[in-house]
Amino acid sequence: AVPSGAEIPIEERSPEEVTTIAGQPIAPAGVRVRNPAFDITPHRLVTAIITEVGVVAPPYSETLPAAVARARQGGS
């Protein structure tokens, strides 16, 4: 855990992932691209987490362990 999202390093993916389709360019040559692998969402904006075993809502200290247990049992 980190105090804030500012401490999380964000992987930058290849510009070709968003400037080409099937190897064919779809953007002007030399265009500058920022292609982060993921974003950081402030916790105050997260109202639930959608998982393979259902929607997990607060209080997460109770509902996340229950979701993990269901996932380990192969259930939903």
Q: Residue 41 pLDDT > 70, yes or no?
A: yes
Cα torsion 32, 38, 42, 46: sign? positive
The pLDDT of residue 4: 81
DSSP for 2-48, please give it: -SSGGGS--PBPPTHHHHEETTEE-S-TT-----BS-----GGG---
Please tell me the pTM assigned to this model: 0.58
Percentage of the chain beyond pLDDT 90 is 82
Please state the rounded mean pLDDT for residues 54-76: 91
Q: Residue 76 pLDDT > 70, yes or no?
A: no
